[in-house]
Structure 1
Amino acid sequence: MSATLASPEPGWLGRALLAPGAAVRDLGEAIEHTLASVSGAVVVVVVLAVLAAVPMVARWRRRRLSAGARQITVLTPPEVDAKGALAFWAHLIGQLRPAWARVLWGQPHLGFEYTVTPEEGAAIRLWVPGAIPPGLIERAISSAWPGAHTDTDQPALPPLPIPVQGTRRVIAGGELRLGRREGLPLSTDHSGDLVRDLITAADDLSAGQATCVQILARPVTGRRVARATRGAASTGASAGIVVGLLREALNLLTPGTSTARPTQSGGVSQSRGSDRQAVMEYSAAARAAAAKARGGHWETVVRYGTSIPVSDDPDDANPIAQARAVARGRADALATVFGACTDHNYYRRRRRPFRLATLLRQRRLGRGDVLSVPELATIAHLPTDTGLPGLQRAGARALSPAPEIPVGGEHTKPLGMADTGTRRPVAVKISDARHHLHILGPTGVGKSTLLARTILDDAEAGRGVIVIDPKGDLVTDILSRLPSHMADRVVLFDADSAAPPPCVNPLDIDRIGRAGTDLAVDNLVTVFHRIFHQWWGPRTDDIMRASLLTLCAQPGTATLADLPRLLTEPAFRARVTRTTKDPVLRGFWDSYETLSDTGRAQLTGPLLNKLRAFLLRPFVRAAIAGGPSTVEFADILDNGGICLARLPKGSLGEETSRLVGSLLVARTWQAVTARARVPSADRPDAALVLDEAQNFLNLSTPIEDMLAEARGLRLSLLLAHQNLGQLSRELRDGISANARNKVIFAVSPDDARDLARHTDPWLSEHDLSHLDAFHAAARLLVDGRNARPFTLTTRPLDPPIPGRAREIAAAARARLTTSPAASAPGPVPDPQL
């Protein structure tokens, strides 16, 4: 029996290829069988579930896009580039998500808002959903409008004020939508400034009133643009299906009144002129629609509103009616401004009597109108008018720091935060801080805040720091914020304290060494000479120098209190001068003794009256002439000490404050110059901070030599003062050339003219003289090279710790009384006494 092989049954693909018609019929029958097996109730349930899920998904996507929304306030720069808005909106087209991401998560939109209130004036803000990465919009603003400042608030605030207790708000406004097909363009060559007109229309608001114009926009795809431009050449308003059917019905009812269509030969002779006009209009609209179709596009909705507060009294209805009328008039004035955009298209007003406040607050964007980038830039931009009153403006342009500027770290000094982009921290390296820091600006602009933060950072890092404060607030701020564990490192000079201060005797030779006697005397004489230069002559200089050298040559510890006794008491002078071996000094005293009492009084009077005024103050006598030194500045600088000298001029007087501070600077300089005997690698970094520095730079060493030597000895100076007029020509030139790190707060136009040499061409005179409070321009060194200037804001200090200043001061006094230096031997007594 022969075996017969059966052909295998072909699969669905084989059947479809062999008999496509039969495969389609089989598929239809299968679908029909499936639908027949499903009950009608199930179909209804599925349809209802889909209809219910669509709005739920829409709300979920809307909440997800709006979560973590922030609000960016833009401060207009002094000069606004009219093309900046084009660059801004064209740049952000890149935020268009891929198709699958738009389907799943949606496309985030932006809100460009103009708000005007009597309290804050006119403000321009951008609402940014949390789905957009932080810093992206801020950088786009800085790029499009150089010099603009941004301030980010999170979470975003409502565009109109929230009603307070006892009042309600009447809100009027609506939406602006395109009146013709959205493929037709608006006017983009308005001769004026639309934003200026908006702010002017909202001028003269009463207290509590507010207006807002909100432009919501998101980028769209080319397919959406193609749908918008399809048939856009029709110049009539958008006609829906119902309008088209009515037009056809009227044509059927009145066939004789139909207008002959233009033909290739020109159509009916009676309508030749009107047909030519229609063709020209159609051609112009087609060209305009084609031009609008080029480039990027945004889907937009414009909303506007006015808020008027009224009393929440139900019996008082008349004010509510009046407020509603005022609000409607204000809102209509805002909407009327957009009439300037009329061209082939125009904005049509749609009132929103209900839910307007909710729409404005939620920034909800449904289906909007398609605008090109030039059209959107026409209605959403920074105003170019420099004289617009009430507008929040940036005082100076904002510049981002160069990438090489450090953000902080172990071997840096913090300065503040960059005021552009992501507001990263900025700092100066310790090695570059050795080139010294010059801080300039009037009172109240943030100098003390910057100094206090730098001092606290030095203390935290264990670097030695000496602070001389002629006003007192800086030291108080530091004491109230120092950690408790640093109290044992603090040395405090406080002119307002009743407790005895530490003693820093400038004539303590046992501390400074015999080799430093000449430098100590030179510094003392120079300090007195420069502070009292109006009453100082060569004879006074000679007398003081000879007297100090004579006192320093004696055994024991001399003080400035011995100087009046040496000049006025013959017995004391005889005991001191008889052991003098220097022939020059012997000759001086021999000639001095030959003078009469009247002659000696005339010579020594100018010096003695200065000394007595100086020594009659208990604090000064104890701190400068109280015997052997109880504090060694070399230990403070080398071992991370914190010396705070609080010398308020209101307590000591201006000349005495300058004199004490200058003597402390002189003693610091003596300790620094002693570092020359130590290898360079073993010299720890330390800092000398001088607020109102011009009062204390009175040493015998020229300022340019002092700054140059201090860099090699690893002492960085922070020199702060208010204006260049406080500096002598010598100080100004020395600081300008040798203090190479510059931090400039708002200065006068005259100072800005001189300081602009350090910041041109990046920052001009106008920028330096229009900086805001706590806002500064910086020019820093990076690895010994000048980096380009940038702008920064100082960081506010942490809140003061209650009782911390008293705690630190008490610990410093207790440490002073138990210090071995406090019990050092005093002057060696004369054996003949």
Structure 2
Amino acid sequence: MRRHHLYVARTRMGKSTLMRHLVEHKLQEKAAGRDRDAVVVIDPHADLVADILEQVPEQLVSEVRLIDLADERGAVGINLLDASVFTDRDRTADAVVRVARGLWEQWGPRMQSILEQTVKTLHEANSHPATKPEEQYTILDGLKLLTAESFRFEVLTRLRDPYLLQWWANDFGKWRREYRSDALAPVQTRLNYYASSTHARAILGQSRSTVDLRRTILEGGVLLVSTAQGSVGRDVAALVGASLLNLVDSVIREQERLPQHERRGALVVVDEMQTIPGVEFESMLSELGKFGASFVLATQSLAKLDQISPSMRHTLLANVGCLAVFQVAGDDARELIWELNRERVSEEDIVSQPVHHCYV
């Protein structure tokens, strides 16, 4: 499987079932020693991951890593600013900002600048030799950084980037009290949302990430992620899901310097991709294939893709090697028959398909 897949279907028409069969086949091939690729599954509803877990071959059990955001008792730690995992400061900041822009209704250049400098500052402080892994700052510390002067001074002593130091001194530091309150309010509101959520604190508030995602991918392991949107909320699920996908992107790109025969392939499966804004699916599809990555993406409708990016549907259709069309709405059927065989498949054929049937 070296080509990207796109599955389009109304709810409960069978796209997740097709994904499950594909992943189960991949796992059987790995268990038999015929496949060495990593497998990553991102599931917003938990059912897909639960079904896959029941079918994991015994030989692969030790290679499976499960991240279930709904499990508060054994909550996995995902520090988005963990410098040992998310090693590139600027890529990390860009990823967090992109996710926030996709989730937060209120957005503007001032808000983006504040969030960007906050994330870069905390990440750089985590990279300082004096910062122990268990003492790293998290995205939730952004609140204190913006409001507590003594805490801000402590963090700034660990910065080496003159631009960041200048921004805090000459931009942030010289804002009038009224202007500062007005500028910080929208950022504080969103960070407060994460800080006040028990699920978010349990996951995002741990100083060090408890799963070595980079090692799992590079060693050809299996990573199953249930973002549990119904339990933890849309924002937390999207933030974690997007961050993990951006990490997968980064790890795969790191292999560029390796000879082709040494690169580790990866199958990346994302159900309901429209629920995870802030991910550069377009660049992933067009660029990561040469590093051995293949994506299997699913959505309920093409219109949902437009919410992510105006060019998303066109980029996806241009880069996928396999298109599976289940029962869809009329608007989607009218467009997708051009991707199938218009002379043999009609709009009515598509919109009237029974459950678990599709044109490929």
Partners of 1:706 and 1:595 in 2: how far apart?
40
Partner of 2:232: 652
SS at match of 1:508: coil
Partner of 1:439: 7
Partner of 1:672: 252
SS at match of 1:558: coil
8 A contact 1:439–1:742 mirrored in 2: yes
Which structure 2 residues correspond to residues 510-589 of structure 1 after superposition, within 5 A? 510-513=84-87, 516-532=88-104, 534-554=105-125, 555=128, 556=131, 557-589=136-168
Q: Structure 2 counterpart of 1:505, which letter? A: N
Partners of 2:290 and 2:331 in 1: how far apart?
34
Change beyond 3 A, Cα 1:495–1:589: same
8 A contact 2:140–2:204 mirrored in 1: no
Runs of 5+ unmatched residues, structure 2:
31-36
Partner of 1:498: 72
State which of 207, 212, 228 in structure 2 corresponds to 1:627. 207
SS at match of 1:443: coil
Is 1:479 aligned to 2:61, yes or no? no
Structure with bigger helix share is 2
Partners of 1:498 and 1:548 in 2: how far apart?
26
8 A contact 2:238–2:277 mirrored in 1: no
**RMSD (Å), alpha carbons:** 1.9
Partners of 1:492 and 1:621 in 2: how far apart?
19
Runs of 5+ unmatched residues, structure 1:
1-429, 779-833
Aligned residues: 341
Partner of 1:602: 182
Larger RCO, structure (CA 8 Å, separation 6 or more): 2
Change beyond 3 A, Cα 1:677–1:629: farther
Once the two structures are superposed, residues 79-115 of structure 1 have per-residue CA deviations (whole angstroms, 9 ceiling, x without a partner) of: xxxxxxxxxxxxxxxxxxxxxxxxxxxxxxxxxxxxx
Partners of 1:617 and 1:592 in 2: how far apart?
28
Offset of residue 494 of structure 1:
1.6
8 A contact 2:76–2:203 mirrored in 1: yes
Partner of 1:489: 63
Offset of residue 466 of structure 1:
1.3
Partners of 2:198 and 2:63 in 1: how far apart?
25
Partner of 2:33: none
Q: Structure 2 counterpart of 1:726, which letter? A: K
Is 1:711 aligned to 2:289, yes or no? yes
8 A contact 2:85–2:214 mirrored in 1: no
Is 1:452 aligned to 2:20, yes or no? yes
Offset of residue 677 of structure 1:
2.2
SS at match of 1:775: coil
Q: Structure 1 counterpart of 2:204, which letter? A: I
Once the two structures are superposed, residues 183-232 of structure 1 have per-residue CA deviations (whole angstroms, 9 ceiling, x without a partner) of: xxxxxxxxxxxxxxxxxxxxxxxxxxxxxxxxxxxxxxxxxxxxxxxxxx
8 A contact 2:102–2:277 mirrored in 1: no
Partners of 2:318 and 2:333 in 1: how far apart?
17
State which of 269, 273, 280 in structure 2 corresponds to 1:693. 273
Offset of residue 579 of structure 1:
4.5
Offset of residue 614 of structure 1:
1.9
Offset of residue 777 of structure 1:
0.6
Which structure 2 residues correspond to residues 169-318 of structure 1 after superposition, within 5 A? none
Which structure 2 residues correspond to residues 804-819 of structure 1 after superposition, within 5 A? none
Partner of 1:767: 349
Partners of 1:657 and 1:512 in 2: how far apart?
18
Which structure 2 residues correspond to residues 8-23 of structure 1 after superposition, within 5 A? none
Q: Structure 2 counterpart of 1:651, which letter? A: S
Partners of 2:182 and 2:270 in 1: how far apart?
37
8 A contact 2:72–2:202 mirrored in 1: no
Partners of 1:580 and 1:496 in 2: how far apart?
36
State which of 314, 320, 335 in structure 2 corresponds to 1:733. 314
Offset of residue 684 of structure 1:
2.5
Q: Structure 2 counterpart of 1:641, which letter? A: G
Partners of 1:747 and 1:493 in 2: how far apart?
31
Once the two structures are superposed, residues 524-577 of structure 1 have per-residue CA deviations (whole angstroms, 9 ceiling, x without a partner) of: 111111111x21111110011111112222222332122111111100111222
Q: Structure 1 counterpart of 2:162, which letter? A: P
Partners of 2:43 and 2:85 in 1: how far apart?
25
Which structure 2 residues correspond to residues 458-469 of structure 1 after superposition, within 5 A? 458-462=26-30, 463-469=37-43
Offset of residue 523 of structure 1:
0.9
Change beyond 3 A, Cα 1:704–1:499: same
Offset of residue 641 of structure 1:
1.7
SS at match of 1:720: strand
8 A contact 2:68–2:76 mirrored in 1: no
8 A contact 2:270–2:298 mirrored in 1: yes
8 A contact 2:216–2:222 mirrored in 1: yes
Offset of residue 602 of structure 1:
1.6
8 A contact 2:138–2:206 mirrored in 1: yes
Offset of residue 449 of structure 1:
1.0
8 A contact 1:662–1:695 mirrored in 2: no
Q: Structure 1 counterpart of 2:286, which letter? A: A
Structure with bigger strand share is 1
Change beyond 3 A, Cα 1:716–1:697: farther
Task: Report the identity percentage.
Answer: 29
Change beyond 3 A, Cα 1:736–1:636: same
Partners of 1:512 and 1:655 in 2: how far apart?
20
Once the two structures are superposed, residues 693-744 of structure 1 have per-residue CA deviations (whole angstroms, 9 ceiling, x without a partner) of: 0122513x4x332211111111111110111111112221221111231011
Once the two structures are superposed, residues 459-495 of structure 1 have per-residue CA deviations (whole angstroms, 9 ceiling, x without a partner) of: 2222321111111111111122223443222211223
Moved more, 604-613 or 484-493: 484-493
> Normalising by structure 2, what TM-score?
0.89
Partner of 2:34: none
Partners of 1:740 and 1:465 in 2: how far apart?
19
Partner of 1:403: none
Q: Structure 2 counterpart of 1:563, which letter? A: G
8 A contact 1:441–1:723 mirrored in 2: yes
Once the two structures are superposed, residues 337-374 of structure 1 have per-residue CA deviations (whole angstroms, 9 ceiling, x without a partner) of: xxxxxxxxxxxxxxxxxxxxxxxxxxxxxxxxxxxxxx
8 A contact 2:42–2:241 mirrored in 1: yes
Q: Structure 2 counterpart of 1:672, which letter? A: I
8 A contact 1:694–1:721 mirrored in 2: yes
8 A contact 1:634–1:672 mirrored in 2: no
8 A contact 1:470–1:647 mirrored in 2: yes
Bigger CA radius of gyration: 1
Partners of 2:152 and 2:53 in 1: how far apart?
45
Once the two structures are superposed, residues 208-266 of structure 1 have per-residue CA deviations (whole angstroms, 9 ceiling, x without a partner) of: xxxxxxxxxxxxxxxxxxxxxxxxxxxxxxxxxxxxxxxxxxxxxxxxxxxxxxxxxxx
SS at match of 1:740: strand
Partners of 2:178 and 2:46 in 1: how far apart?
43
Partner of 1:612: 192
8 A contact 1:520–1:670 mirrored in 2: no
Q: Structure 2 counterpart of 1:712, which letter? A: K
Q: Structure 2 counterpart of 1:467, which letter? A: V
